[in-house]
Amino acid sequence: MSPALNRPEIVAELTAMSDRYEKALGDNDIAELDALFYHGPETVRYGVGETLYGFDEIAVFRRNRAGGSPPRDVLRRHITAIGTDTGTVDLEFRRHGAERIGRQSQTWIRTPDGWKIIAAHVSLMADIS
């Protein structure tokens, strides 16, 4: 039996978590960003210029990143709830003053401490102009 997809209450929870992440990213709120990631060696984050395995590597990267993430606008967001304890959030964004489109994918899991990101991938589309 396949898990139920996109139960409205789970999509609403993931939407709220995605909004919370975007606010923390925009504010460069490192403590909040840390709180949103799963604290374990299983967590992975592939960035535009970095490959990070485990929560500890992600936390060190955030602390060493001068000024945080460049400001951006979310252009499109797609959320898929898989059952009641897993979901994905995929979005397209554009950094302020840039032409290239960025993409972000996150896998969220429900833990005893709430929803956490266990895998994330950020990339920029190739410049085809």
CB-side exposure of 113: number of CA atoms within 13 Å?
8
Cα 122–chain centre separation: 8
Q: What are 89's strand-pairing partners?
A: 79, 106
| Domains identified in the chain and CATH numbers | 8-124 (3.10.450.50)
* pTM for the whole structure: 0.93
Q: Which DSSP category does 48 fall into?
A: S
Whether residue 120 contacts residue 45, with contact meaning beta carbons closer than 8 Å, is answered with: yes
Give tens-digit pLDDT for 14-66: 999 999 999 999 999 999 999 999 999 999 999 999 999 999 999 999 999 88
Look at 3-17, 55-69, 70-84 and tell me which has the smallest mean pLDDT: 55-69
The H or E element spanning position 11 is helix 8-27
Selection from 92, 86, 97, 63 nearest residue 17 by Cα: 86
**What is the model's pLDDT at position 128?**
65
**Residue corresponding to tokens 């504010």:** 27
Mean pLDDT of the chain: 94
